Every structure is written in structure tokens, then in C-alpha cells.
Structure 1
Amino acid sequence: MGYAAIVLAGGRSRRMGGGLKPLLRVGGVTMLDRVLAALAGSSHTVVVGPSELDDHLAGVPRVQEQPPGGGPVAAIGAGFAAVSAAARVAVLAADLPFLTAQALEQLTGAGDCAVYVDGQGRRQPLVAVWATESLRRALEAVPRKDASMKELLGAVNVTELTWAGQGPPPWFDCDTPEALEEAQKWLR
């Protein structure tokens, strides 16, 4: 089943000391490039983030949420117009070094919105695939730009999946220097 994708590459990266976290390298490849590689099967991809990413996008369109740094729901709203013609939309963070096409395929056929849950039962909302109309309704139901992902997910029926693949989980994100080091170790 085909899908389009919104990659969230904004944020302040406070826990990483600032800078452009998606451009940090894991195994010699930027996390953003790893996510974009996993999206090779996407019909259309848009990156939401600052203009400083433009030189690293190799033709992938970029938009900016308003206000800049406004959070994931604002970013999803900004990216939605670019991908709303697709039947399904993947919503992904840009700091997922272990995201794979296989992980996305597992999510693409499941209901209004499919997300992974970790070993503690926590939803991973920035590794999700939505039915486009469900995402549209959810964005309309939580019109505040500073709404939380929990609020956005609360507007639809969510299918929770566990990771059945090999290797580190696709939702592993690098929000701290320690997480980045752990990701590096997994690739050694």
C-alpha cells in the first residue's frame, strides 16, 4: 500500500546542546539521510524544519511550521498540505537511525492510525502511519498549534503494533548524547 511521508526535523535539540540534530551522524550517515532512505518507497516526502537543512535534502521539499519550533502537531499541520493527496501518510521524527522500510510496511495497512508501542506499552507517535482522512480530522479536532501528540492521537482510533523485525527498534531516537552513543555502539 502506498504512502506519503512527513519528516519532522525541527525542534531546539536542547538535550543535545543545540544545533541540527537530524544532521548528526550514526555509522557515518546522518540520521536524516537514514530516515529518507527508509522512505524510498514513499510516493512523496516533505521535511518540516529550518532552512538550514536545505543543503542536505537532495531535492526533498521542505516547509517550516509556524511558529518555528512550535512542536510536532504544528509541524505535522505544516507538512500535511504537501502530502494530503496520498491515501496514507507516515509521520516520522528525523532522528530515527534504525527506521527501516520493513518497519514502515508493518504500519501501512492498519486502521486510522498505526503506531508502535515499546516494551513498556508506551506509544511511539513519531513512528506512525495515518489514513490521510483520519489525520485531516485529527488536525481539525485539535486546532491549537501547541497541541500534544497525545491529543492528536486521542482524536482517532489507534492501532498499536509491536516491532516484529530484527535489530534495534525503529522508534529508537537520539535525543541525548547518551542515546547517540548507544546508537553508535549498536552499529559496531
Structure 2
Amino acid sequence: MTKPLGIILAGGLATRMGGGDKGLLQIGGQSLLERVRDRLAPQVSGLALNANGDAARFKDLDLPVIADSIEGYAGPLAGVLAGLDWAAAQGAEAIVTAAADTPFFPEDLAERLLAASEGQKHPLVLATTPRTGDELLKSGGGKKINRHPTFGLWPVALRDDLRAALNGGLRKVVLWTDRHGGREALFEAEPFDPFFNVNTPEDLKRAEELLR
């Protein structure tokens, strides 16, 4: 498969940060969105931002801004669908998504998602990390991995199926990926989880520490 297109998912409500655009918060003199853009851009053949509302607030990123086509906040799958529709218009086969509030995700994310999709009719892969001690205890010794549903490889060929599922009320990412034989790509979580995301003011401080 040729290099996929990339979509940064920034359509969330950021309720734990008091609302607004988490991606515009800064660490080390750069916004989270700038860091995500700069990390994802070399991995993909083109890049767009999924965000709702006035696109002008993201003009400094110099990216196309695509809004959800599903009305109301329908979660990350709505952003994935918007990205798939954008990619279809460009004749692309697949997209790789990354969350706007996760500045340290792997620099080989797209490469490893693509590797995990080998042999699939429709490339559909989510990023995962191992669960460690406390997480395993909380889960009752259940699933030994964490799936990161905003970091994935998604096939343009299934966009109409996804649209129908969203219009039917589906919101949970893994219910849809499991339905279509989605796979997982495992990434190490040492010395810290690369999919650490900024949800709270405390997380923002932690991100500053990790950056240093």
C-alpha cells in the first residue's frame, strides 16, 4: 500500500480542561497541535485536521480543516469518517489518525500500523500498549493491553459502513473495529506510555516534565 494520508483528531469537547481547544495549549513554547502535526507529517503523504467550529482559529497550522459530517458530538469515529471522506476525494486507500492532545506518540506509528495490516482486505489496525501492574489489577487480570482508539489505520473502502453505523447510534470505536476484523499493533510503554494524552491541567504539567 502507498503511504496513507494523516488526520489529526481535534473534535473533542475538552471538558476536563474546562472546554476550548486542548490542542492549542502549549508545552515547551509550541502548541500540542504543532507537535502532533510535526510528528505525524513525515509519516504520511498528506495531512488534515479534523475540528468543528470556526476553522480560522487553526490558520497558523497551515492545514486543511475538516469538520464532522455527523451532527452533534459523535466522538472520535465521527472524526475518522470525516477523514475518510476527505481521503476518498483524493483517491487515497487509507488514513492514519492521531489525537491532537498526545504529543509523544511513536515516530514510526504509521509504518507499524501498516505492517500489522499486511494481508487484510481492508487495512484496519489500532495502536496498543501493554497494561502494567496497577492497570492489570484494576481490570481484574483481564485484557493485558490498552487499545488507543484515536490512533489507528482506517480503510476508505469501509467509510459508508462507518457512516451507517454512526447514523445508527454506534459510538464506541472498538465495537466497530472488532466487527470488521480489526487488528492491533503493540507499542512499548517504557520509559513512559507514548500515547499519554493531556486531559487535565495536571497532565499538562506532566507533559512539560516529559518534554524536559
Q: TM-score range by the shorter chain?
A: 0.7 to 0.9
Give 1 or 2: higher helix fraction: 2
Structure 2-normalised TM-score? 0.77
Structure 2 unaligned residues grouped into runs of 5+ = 118-122, 132-144
Structure 1 unaligned residues grouped into runs of 5+ = none
Match of 2:142 in 1: none
Bigger mean CA deviation after superposition, 17-26 or 46-55: 46-55
Paired residues of 1:31 and 1:94 also in contact (CA < 8 A): yes
Paired residues of 1:45 and 1:83 also in contact (CA < 8 A): no
> Are residues 1:69 and 2:73 paired?
yes
Paired residues of 1:116 and 1:127 also in contact (CA < 8 A): yes
**2:110 aligned partner, one-letter code:** L
* Alpha-carbon offset, residue 90 of structure 1: 0.4
Match of 1:38 in 2: 39
Match of 1:156 in 2: 180
Among 97, 106, 110, the residue aligned to 2:112: 106
The superposition leaves residues 16-39 of structure 1 with CA deviations (integer Å, 9 ceiling, x where unpaired) of 111110111122211111111122
* Alpha-carbon offset, residue 94 of structure 1: 0.9
Structure 1-normalised TM-score? 0.85
Match of 2:139 in 1: none
Paired residues of 1:98 and 1:171 also in contact (CA < 8 A): yes
> Are residues 1:59 and 2:62 paired?
yes
Structure showing greater Rg: 2
**2:185 aligned partner, one-letter code:** L
Q: 1:15 to 1:165 in 2, by over 3 A?
A: closer
**2:67 aligned partner, one-letter code:** Q
**1:117 aligned partner, one-letter code:** T
* Alpha-carbon offset, residue 49 of structure 1: 0.8
* Alignment: residue pair count: 187
Task: Give the whole-Å Cα distance in 2 for the aligned partners of 1:131 and 1:70.
Answer: 19
Paired residues of 1:3 and 1:89 also in contact (CA < 8 A): yes
> Are residues 1:142 and 2:165 paired?
yes
Aligned Cα root-mean-square deviation (Å): 2.4
The superposition leaves residues 97-136 of structure 1 with CA deviations (integer Å, 9 ceiling, x where unpaired) of 1024323322123223222222221211111122432x42
* Alpha-carbon offset, residue 138 of structure 1: 4.8
